[in-house]
Amino acid sequence: MTSTMNLLDAAALIWFVLAWGGYALIHDRQTILGRPNLVAAMEEWRFRWADSMARREVRIVDSQIINGLVQKDAFFASTTILIIAGLVALVGSADKASEFAASIPIMAPVTPMTWSIKVGLLAAAFIFAFFKFGWAIRQHSYSAIVVASIPEPAATGENTVAAERAQRAARLGSLGAKHFNDGVRTYYFAVAVLGWFIHPVVFIVGTTWIVAVLYRRDFRSRALKILTD
């Protein structure tokens, strides 16, 4: 029984890694059968924003939007740090977890090693998310600096410079959005990992469900339809 469960745990973990990595690769291509995903659609709107921004004399609203993006990234980064701290505290509670699992029939037996792997997987996922959010903060901050360097459209001979810098700011913003999206995706897959604490089968089903949810929102959502129609 123990060896079977160990094999099932390993199979669930392998499926999780393949599902997360495979979906990330597909998503980064930004299209499936010629249909763009939500990030690609928003990138187009970001470049349209840049075109309008280059022709505006007053860019207070643009600065406020970028500041809001930075604050959003910072909120997720700080929240992720708190989650990591809580997971570190759970590493040493394997004995209590084993007793708790034994008292619930539907939960798989927990050994100190499997407990450490499960908690470690969650911690590694959130550490990855923290670096993604941290890099998104920096890229959006760099975008704000580029926006500040855009000359006013009334300046003689500066129209080309303004348009080029606005597009550069849009590209930086798109990179920041990509990394923020990668961090948020980690939260989704972390929900699937929680199923592993119940049973490996729950982990497999949860991972599959998360992929389906992400695909629906990234490639088939009503928000995408509104942005692309």
CA 40, distance to chain mean position in Å, is: 15
> Rounded to whole angstroms, how far apart are CA atoms 60 and 37?
30
108/147 Cα distance (integer angstroms):
54
Instruction: For residue 87, count other CB atoms closer than 10 A to its CB.
Output: 18
Retrieve residue 174's tokens: 């798109």
What is the helix, strand, coil percentage profile of the chain, to 5? 80, 0, 15
Q: How do the pLDDT tens digits run along the chain, 229 residues long?
A: 344 457 888 899 999 999 999 999 988 887 776 678 898 899 999 999 998 888 888 888 888 999 999 999 999 999 999 999 988 887 766 556 555 555 555 566 667 778 788 889 999 999 999 999 999 999 999 999 999 888 887 654 557 888 889 999 999 999 999 999 999 999 999 999 999 988 889 999 999 999 999 999 999 899 999 988 7
Closest C-alpha among 192, 179, 116, 97 to residue 143: 179
